[in-house]
Amino acid sequence: MENEQHGNKKYGMVINLDKCTGCGACMVACMSENNVPFKKDETDKLKSITWMRLFKLSNKKSYPDSDICYLPRPCMHCAGPHEHGHSPCVSVCPATATDYSTETGIVSQIYTRCFGCRYCMAACPYHARYFNWWDPVWPEGMEKYLSPNVSVRMRGVVEKCSFCFHRYQLAMDKAYVEGRRELEEKEYQTACTQACPAGAITFGDLNNPEHKVHQLAQPDPEHDGRPRNPNVFRLLERLGTNPKVYYFSSREWVRRSGDNYLKDEVMPGAH
Amino acid sequence: MKIDRRCFLSLGIGAAAGVALSPLPWKLADDSSIWTQNWPWTPVPKDGKVSHVNSTCSLCPGGCGISVRKVGDRAVKIEGAAGHPVNDGGICIRGLSGLQLLYGPTRVKTPLKRAGKRGEGKWTKISWQEAIGEVAQALGKLRDGGQPHTLAAVMGSDRGTVSQLMQRFMSAYGSPNFFRMPSVQDAYEQALYLMQGERAMAGFDVDNADFVLSFGSGLIEGWGAPVRMIRACGKWVQDGVRIVQAEPRLSNTAAKAAVNGDWLPIKPGTEAALALGIANVIIRENLFNQFVDQASSGFESAVDSEGRQHKGFKELVLTSYSPETVAGITGIDADRITAVARDFAAAKHPLALAGRGMGHTPGSVYDIMAVQALNALVGNINADGGVWAVPEPDYIQWDAPEIDKTAAEGNQKGRIDGAGSADAPYSRYLMNRFAGAVLGKSTYAIQALLVSEANPAYSLPDTEAFKAALDAIPLVVSFSSFMDETAAQADLILPNHVYLERYEDIAAPAGFSKPLIGLCRPAVDPQFDTRHVGDAIIAIAGKLGGNTAAAFPWADYKACLRDTFGSRWDDLRQTGYWWNEAYQPSSAESGFKTTSGKFEFVATALREYSKKSDAMMPHYEPIAPEGDASKFSLVLMPYDTLRLSSGYVGSPPFMMKSVPDTVLKGNVGLVGVNPETASSLGLTEGADAVIETPKGRAAVKVHLSAGVPPDCVFMPRGLGHSAYDDYLAGKGVNIYQLMGPVEDPVSGLDAAWGIRANLIKA
Amino acid sequence: MIDSALIPEGVKRCPTWKFLLALAVCGVVLLWGVIAMLLCWFKGLNQTNMNDYYGFALWIWADLGVIALGGGAFFTGLLRYVIGKDELKHIINYAVLIGFICYSSALLILAIDIGQPLRGWFIFWHANVHSMLTEVAFCLTCYFGVLCIEYLPLILENRQIDKVPFFHNLSHNFHEIMAVFAATGAFLSFFHQGSLGGVAGVLYGRPFGYRTGLLVWPWTFFLFTWSAAACGPCFTIFITRLTEKITGKQLVKPNVIHLLAKIAGWMLASYMVAKIADTLWWAFRTAPSEGFNWRDFYSNNALYGPWILFMEIVVCGILPALILTVKSLRERSGLLFTAVGLAALGVLLNRWVMVLQVLAVPVLPFDKWALYYPSWQEVATTILPVAYGVILIMISYRYLPIFPQERELNAVDSAV
Ligand SMILES: Nc1nc2c(c(=O)[nH]1)N[C@H]1C(S)=C(S)[C@@H](COP(=O)(O)OP(=O)(O)OC[C@H]3O[C@@H](n4cnc5c(=O)[nH]c(N)nc54)[C@H](O)[C@@H]3O)O[C@H]1N2
Ligand SMILES: Nc1nc2c(c(=O)[nH]1)N[C@H]1C(S)=C(S)[C@@H](COP(=O)(O)OP(=O)(O)OC[C@H]3O[C@@H](n4cnc5c(=O)[nH]c(N)nc54)[C@H](O)[C@@H]3O)O[C@H]1N2
Ligand code: SF4
Ligand code: SF4
Ligand code: SF4
Ligand code: SF4
Ligand code: SF4
Ligand SMILES: [Mo]
């Protein structure tokens, strides 16, 4: 297993939910970085493209024992069982319009190839995928701020968080020009990580012991990257999607909210 | 050749087969798919040379450093400037959305003159020359008629060169009626003046605090400099710093406090009582710092030379604010109060801070004094991790303008809001009294109003009253970059550049503990026919001539700015900001600027206000919400969220997109209601309802929230715009339509924290 | 009648005006559907009420539904040509016709359902062999080709076309080799019915749909094929009976119907055993291992309750299986009609559950049930194939010898 991974990167995130304030900067940093369109009414959250979405978790207790926690949800860039790249979404796309890169661990989305069947959306339990139900339209003049690094998606295709892949490409281009084959940790950081005022998001190569994400999550290669840090969890760990986004929380109820458990089931690592 | 049916059919089939085998259908299929990949109506962003412009964000008082990424001549992204003392790379949702303001449809693109009735939305485009001429002519007439004092000006800030230019204009012209929009800074400045004798800004050394006790402040919801505070909070979590939040509602800050600290679900409006209850424990258990003995006055009761008994703070607190008494007022158990007090006193660098939510409402000065007294008890006034008195920026050293007779007479007239007069001696601006004064409570009528970088018609409590006041003012001039609510009611709009197109000094981020000046500079050329408000003021003054013109020796605003900074200008342009990193406030030993030279628990300055010793000390004086409790069974309260902009600029589309569907659904705003309260009112999740207060009524939907205390209704600030574009206008309710100000008895500042209300099933 | 020359010899058809009137009525419904279809193509899928939680909705259910119901064609074909149940030749034409309608509808719906119809062919060009949908697309298209080939001889049997010697011979030759196509069709059908079952079954991120299985195929793969083989023929019988009721004529002899009903009955019965076993395994092994109690899938929402399981397994499964397998029961006309109707309903319900309920069930513990109702455009596009099917049946029935036994069963006074 480890040998197969040798030299390959596995980019991932650790999001510290103790630090996350729910401020929404990550959401908007992403929209602004990635040319995400908007409509006049965005209150139907089932039709609102948010590559990074903030969920508000509640401990379901009544006032004043109530507690809440925000959970930012980008695409998990699931590797699927045994790191084979059979992400829930990638494995079902009939046109190979979304792909798993064994080089970076990033799940790509090729807008020009996607034909909009939405099977990948049905497959993704995290609702990380969004369909362009409408043509993207910017009010007159506002298209001036669109970034040429990320192509604007046409109506009828699916899009999602790319871990700001263009930033990886730009960083790699720069490295190659400078005769390097490897990136420094800080050279490739996502827009949401960069923006987060709380420093709640850490991004880097989970395979690289030097990188903070590796140290925080302590992924267990024997168990598809399951975190060894007892305060770290992944969403829906039990489904075997093998996500690369990890969450840290010191609160047990929050960690328990990350997966489904039977009523009296004891959460692994619960104390 | 005769074509029979058989032949025809064979030919047909043959042709079909031929077409199918030819490249034609495949080519067509390929071309059509390629066409879908290049739909001409899907924009293709142009590529170009990438560059970055370092600047300062001025969308809130946060003063973040920003880096604007450009491609060719287009700005494509705003990022936080790495290494900046305020935000070090972080940025908030509003700062990130700035380009939607720059390139957005709500910009006022050229000077406009009202064509129809006020607020009708009919405008005539005019030239800058005409616009300046019109304003100068009208103001000239007023002045010539001996009425310069009937001009009023409202701005978002009173610091920095732009605001100073406006204030200079006002005094050279002859009016005392300059206004700054209200905020908790008003109350903090006053509390600092009363207890420490200094006209200073409150700075909070948040990075070095190791225990944070917050009285309802939205530490991660926009209080102070928003990004700085969120960064600090991230650090507190990292370092295990305890946060205790006293707040009625489970806000994001309260929830954060619950992670490693405590949320004290306090009864609304009783924060000062809690602070004094905590003080009680600290005093009774002798946990207070030597600062009290060495550097304070008014702690112990005393008898003066004439034999009069003067109650001290200690006696007041010990007699009136036992934890048990306070528990009864605040709803927080005595044990919990005691525990918090002990922990607070035991911490090395405890920090207590106040100002509800983002600090939109000044609040009661006594509240702030009570919290400041706590800081004094633990000795963290002007100390590491404590509250610092940061001197107001002094870099603007212009020669005083020459004042002619007309101006001198005008300036002599009292302000219409009575700020600085006997009933509010230490208040500088009382915007909450503006509408009442204009509508007849003042000795004279306001004839003209200038508004810049402020949207009072939206963001002042009791919007109806303010609109009525605008109606009563013959000339309203807006310098707004956007068609906001105030601009929409104006007679003339002289649109300013937006912050990404202009130079400006951004002085002193809110709550920042060290002197800092950020430079805002153009990232792109002005997109429209707009003009810097500084240039507009200089031009108007020039047109007015005489002393007013003479007060402005600069050719234009940029010359003024360069002149102001002198030798520091180049440095400022290089780094984008200037700060005094080594700054340390004067230590307690070196004394305070009060009459006693000490920190005053009994504010001697308040002797003017009241001879009763209690009234000179921090104490709990309940501010009752407006309305008759027998007619209204609930209390409506505002809350702040960083996902909505509630000040001068409206929320751009990205921010609106981030608003949860539990806050806004379609065009209807949701109010947060406690589930039990809702069920007693027969209301379920998502139910339509009408909220009714003494000020008005509005249709809303209900969101059940276990974070809301019983019998309270919460509504965010920042919704319910009538102006701006379709992405913002008409969505939800502006809480200030439903709520008015309530005066703080000691300062006259707005101290309302809620209003009585009913929620009725629709 | 002006079109009498086209009508098969020796059968009676309603007057032309009546036929045209009925055609017009269906035509209006068809037009409504076509308008909705064009709206979806030109304005995009914002015309629907689908959303990011409901990426699959009414259409995909209709798609899976009609394909299951069209299963009568492959299974009857298999019985007739491969297994040699010769009596079934009297109903095979109709089974093929119904199959043709169902499959052409399914393809049309897919072409409307995708966000980029002009890129639909990428599914073949950039095929991902791991995707069930790729398998579906390939098999579905191939089988539709087979159905065309099976339907073509029927058209060629039209009185006028048959007069052309070329077509006469062609038709004859087709009949000779039909067994090959039927076998191919049955094979393809087995796979695409199965892969349609796999569509939800492989979704390991969706515990409500996900099933363990055999090799690369989840159990739903086999269950879908099985249920289509059981319920497809039931639908053929149902439509045949309906046609008989509408035309007021007996078109197929009871022994043929009863034979097919009996086979379908045993298929349904065995399917039910498998379905119940699958449900138990899923509810008590698979779901709990992912942290779900099976009741979680049927509570906290306004629509999906345990009643669905009861409906699908008892009312539309065990009950019709009982009726169809017991000779005395299935030979009672009313009961037979009810049973085949229930079986068809059952398979539709199953497909609904496997599409819409899969998406409705919250997976993230902090998420909510997502309920959805279709827009009129979706309803119209879903009814479009029904109208189209009725029209095709009307035309085929009128002009083609669909029911070989019709003449024998309904002697016509040649004077008319
Ligand atoms: N006929 C036809 N041909 C096409 C297309 C089409 O629409 N029609 N599409 C064209 C397009 S747009 C593309 S991108 C190519 C695909 O061809 P390539 O450009 O070669 O894309 P990948 O092989 O996906 O890119 C290499 C790796 O980058 C990783 N990756 C991560 N993030 C991203 C991302 O955001 N984008 C991409 N592309 N890769 C990412 C993927 O995991 C992948 O393994 O095919 C092109 N060919
Ligand atoms: N977030 C995210 N970002 C991505 C990717 C991702 O998956 N996710 N994918 C990345 C990858 S791999 C790729 S390849 C790119 C794709 O992004 P782009 O390379 O930008 O691809 P397109 O979106 O097809 O845009 C190409 C544009 O070129 C123009 N064009 C095409 N053909 C012609 C022509 O013949 N003449 C002229 N004048 N113009 C033409 C069209 O206007 C078309 O919109 O996006 C990259 N960015
Ligand atoms: S930017 Fe950071 S703190 Fe704000 S919501 Fe996102 S992760 Fe949380
Ligand atoms: S989160 Fe969803 S979209 Fe992202 S890789 Fe996993 S399954 Fe695919
Ligand atoms: S919608 Fe696009 S990316 Fe998703 S499965 Fe279909 S073709 Fe693939
Ligand atoms: S990694 Fe990039 S694409 Fe993904 S959520 Fe963050 S900003 Fe958006
Ligand atoms: S906190 Fe204020 S100054 Fe900083 S980016 Fe946000 S709006 Fe701008
Ligand atoms: Mo590409």
Cα distances from B711 to residues B624, B634, B636, in angstroms, run 16, 5, 9
Neighbouring CB atoms inside 10 A of C173's CB total 11
Arithmetic mean of pLDDT, B704-718:
97
Question: Is the pLDDT higher at C187 or at C110?
Answer: C110
Q: What is the pLDDT of residue A270?
A: 60
B37, two tokens: 């990949």
> Is the per-residue pLDDT at B693 higher than 50?
yes
Look at residue C214 in the predicted model and tell me its pLDDT.
85
In sequence order, the 6+-apart residues with CB closer than 8 A to the CB of A79 are A10, A85, A87, A100, A105, A224, A225, A242, A243, A244
Task: Using pLDDT thresholds of 50, 70 and 90, give the confidence band for residue B2.
Answer: low
* pLDDT tens per residue across span B389-446: 998 888 999 999 999 999 999 999 999 999 998 889 999 999 999 999 999 877 899 9
Q: For CA atoms C200, C95, C99, C384, give the dihedral sign.
A: negative
pLDDT level of residue B4 (50, 70, 90 thresholds): low
Range with lowest mean pLDDT among B97-111, B496-510, C7-21, C350-364: C7-21
Cα three-residue angle B207-B655-A136, rounded to 5 degrees: 140
Please report which helix (H) or strand (E) contains residue C362, including its range. Answer: none
* Closest-CA distance of chain B to residue A82, Å: 33
From chain A, pick out residues whose CB is under 8 angstroms from the CB of B220: 21, 23, 198
Query: Pairing between strand B151-155 and B504-507?
Result: unpaired
Neighbours of A185 (CB within 10 A): 15
- E-state strands within B95-254: 112-114, 123-125, 151-155, 178-180, 200-204, 211-217, 242-246
| Sole residue written with tokens 């024997």 | A222
Which DSSP helix (H) or strand (E) runs through B688? strand B688-693
B108 pLDDT above the threshold of 90? yes
Contact C98, C77 (CB under 8 A): no
Chain B closest CA to C301's CA: distance in Å? 14
What pLDDT, on a 0 to 100 scale, did the predictor assign at position B8? 59
Q: Can you give the pLDDT at residue C402? A: 87
Q: Residue A29 Cα, ligand 8 centroid: separation in angstroms? A: 24
Identify the band that residue A6 occupies on the pLDDT scale cut at 50, 70 and 90. Answer: very low
pLDDT at B59: 95
Higher pLDDT, C359 or C162: C359
Stated as kind and residue range, the H or E segment containing C71 is helix C71-77
Task: Confirm or reject: Cβ of A90 under 6 Å from ligand 3.
Answer: no
Any idea which of B339-343, C159-163, C248-252 has the lowest mean pLDDT?
C159-163
Which of B214-223, B568-577, C182-191 is the most confident on average? B214-223
Between chains, do A259 and C206 touch, taking CB under 8 Å as contact?
Answer: no
What does the pLDDT read at residue B385?
94
Q: What is the pLDDT of residues B209-242, one digit of tens each?
A: 999 999 999 999 999 999 999 999 999 999 999 9
Contact B561/B505 with Cβ under 8 angstroms? yes
**Cα–Cα distance measured from residue B491 to residue B470, given in angstroms and rounded to the nearest whole number:** 10
Average pLDDT, stretch C86-91?
87
Which residue's C-alpha comes closest to atom 3 of ligand 6? A161
pLDDT at B141 over 70: yes
| DSSP notation for A67-104 | -EEEEEE-------GGGSS--HHHHH-TT--EEE-TTT
Q: Which residues of B touch A23 (CB under 8 A)?
A: 92-93, 220-221, 226, 230, 252, 642-643
Calculate the alpha carbon distances from B116 to B8, B112, B486, C54 in Å.
74, 12, 16, 49
> Which chain A residues are closer than 8 Å to B238 by Cβ?
19, 199
User: DSSP string spanning B203-228?
Assistant: EE-GGG-SEEEEEEE-TTTTSSSHHH
Given a cut of 80, is residue B589 above it in pLDDT? no
> Which residue's structure tokens are 């009524």?
B697
Q: A257 touching B, CB under 8 A?
A: no
| Closest ligand (CA of A92) | 5
What are C343's two structure tokens? 């079986």
- E strands present in A177-268: 201-205, 219-220, 226-227, 232-233, 245-248
Structural tokens at position B438? 């204009």
Could you tell me which residues come within 8 angstroms of residue B689 by beta carbon, excluding any fewer than 6 positions away?
A: B671, B683, B699, B700, B701, B702, B759, B760, B761, B762
The answer to whether the CB of A128 is under 6 A from ligand 5 is no
Average per-residue pLDDT in chain B? 94
The pLDDT score that the predictor gives to residue C325 is: 95
Beta strands in chain A, from DSSP E residues, in sequence order: 11-16, 53-58, 68-73, 98-100, 107-109, 130-131, 158-159, 201-205, 219-220, 226-227, 232-233, 245-248
Alpha-carbon distance values, B602 to B278, B373, B576 (Å): 18, 10, 43
Determine which residue's CA is closest to atom 44 belonging to ligand 2. B38
Least confident stretch, C46-55, C91-100, C105-114: C91-100
**Residue B487: pLDDT above 50?**
yes
Select from A21, A196, A42 the least CA-distant residue to A130.
A42
How far apart are alpha carbons C366 and C53 in whole angstroms? 15
Residues in chain B: 762
Q: How many of the other CB atoms lie within 10 Å of CB of B676? A: 14
Sheet bearing B350-357, strands edge to edge: B261-264, B242-246, B211-217, B350-357
Length of chain A equals: 271
Give me the helix-helix angle, C58-69 and C89-113, nearest 10°: 160
Contact C38, C50 (CB under 8 A): no
- Residues of chain C found within 8 Å of residue B10, distances taken between Cβ atoms: 166
Q: Which of A188-202, B127-141, C402-416 has the lowest mean pLDDT?
A: C402-416
In tens, the pLDDT along B169-223 reads 999 999 999 999 999 999 999 999 999 998 899 999 999 999 999 999 999 999 9
Number of C-beta neighbours around residue B424 at 10 A = 23
pLDDT category, A1, cuts 50, 70, 90? very low
Residue B361 neighbours by CB under 8 Å, 6+ apart: B182, B183, B184, B461, B750, B751, B752, B753
Band (pLDDT 50/70/90 cuts) for residue A4 is: very low
State how far residue B525 is from chain A, nearest Cα, in angstroms. Answer: 13
CB B465 within 8 A of CB B435: yes
Least confident window among A31-35, A230-234, B62-66, C87-91: C87-91
Across the interface, whether the CB atoms of B33 and C164 are under 8 A apart is answered: no
pLDDT at B9: 56
Q: Would the pLDDT of B261 be above 50? A: yes
Mean pLDDT of C65-87: 87
Q: Which ligand is nearest to the CA of A195?
A: 3
Distance B486 CA to ligand 5 centre (A): 48
Q: What is the mean pLDDT of residues C18-32?
A: 94
CA distance B619 to B369: 8
Query: What stretches of B448-495 adopt beta strand conformation (E)?
Result: 448-452, 475-478, 492-493
C-alpha span between B755 and B742 (Å, rounded): 9
Shortest alpha-carbon distance between residue A174 and chain C (Å): 32
Task: Provide the H-helix boundaries in B528-667.
Answer: 533-544, 546-550, 557-565, 568-575, 653-658
Residue B642 to residue B622: CA distance in whole angstroms? 29
Nearest-ligand number for the alpha carbon of B222: 7
Nearest CA to ligand 3 atom 7: A20
At A121, the pLDDT band (50, 70, 90 cuts) reads very high
Interface test with B, best of A132, A143, A146 (most B CBs within 10 A): A146
- A106 to chain C, closest Cα gap in Å: 18
Is the pLDDT reported for residue C306 higher than 90? yes
* pLDDT of res. B322: 97
**A110 Cβ inside 6 Å of ligand 5:** no
Task: State which residue of chain C sits closest to A238, comparing Cα positions.
Answer: C290
A197 touches chain B (CB under 8 A): yes
Reduce the secondary structure of B368-426 to three states and give it as a string: HHHHHHHHHHCCCECCCCCEEEEECCCCCCCCCCCCCHHHHHHHHCCCCCCCCCCCCCC
A56 Cβ under 8 Å from any chain B Cβ: yes
Give the pairing of strands B668-673 and B350-357: unpaired
A:136-155 residues touching chain B, CB 8 A cutoff: 136, 138-148, 151-155
**Nearest residue of chain B to residue C122 (CA atoms):** B33
User: What distance in Å separates the CA atoms of residue B156 and residue B151, rounded to the nearest whole number?
Assistant: 17
- As to burial, measured by CB atoms within 10 angstroms (0-12 exposed, 13-18 middle, 19+ buried), residue B25 is exposed
Q: Can you list the pairs that B51-55 forms with residues at least 24 positions away whose Cβ atoms lie under 8 Å? A: B53/B521, B53/B522, B53/B523, B54/B81, B54/B521, B54/B575, B54/B576, B55/B499, B55/B500, B55/B519, B55/B520, B55/B521, B55/B522, B55/B523, B55/B576
State the average pLDDT over residues B731-752.
96
Cα–Cα distance measured from residue C161 to residue C148, given in angstroms and rounded to the nearest whole number: 17
Task: Give the pLDDT of residue B352.
Answer: 97
CA-CA distance, B323 to B331, in Å (whole number)?
11
Tokens for C211? 């099933």
What mean pLDDT do residues A38-57 have? 97
Closest-approach residue (CA) in chain B for C117 = B33
Which chain A residues have a beta carbon less than 8 Å from that of B258?
67
Cα separation, C68 vs C140, in Å, equals: 12
Residue whose C-alpha is closest to residue C257's, from C320, C332, C182: C332
Confidence at C415, pLDDT banded by 50, 70, 90: very low
Query: Tell me, what's the pLDDT at C181?
Result: 82
pLDDT band at B309 (very low <50, low <70, confident <90, very high): confident
pLDDT at A271 over 70: no
User: How confident is residue A267, by pLDDT bands cut at 50, 70 and 90?
Assistant: confident
- Cβ-contact B474, B448 below 8 angstroms: yes
- Position in ligand 5 atom list of the atom nearest CA A89: 5
Nearest Cα residue to atom 47 of ligand 2 = A150
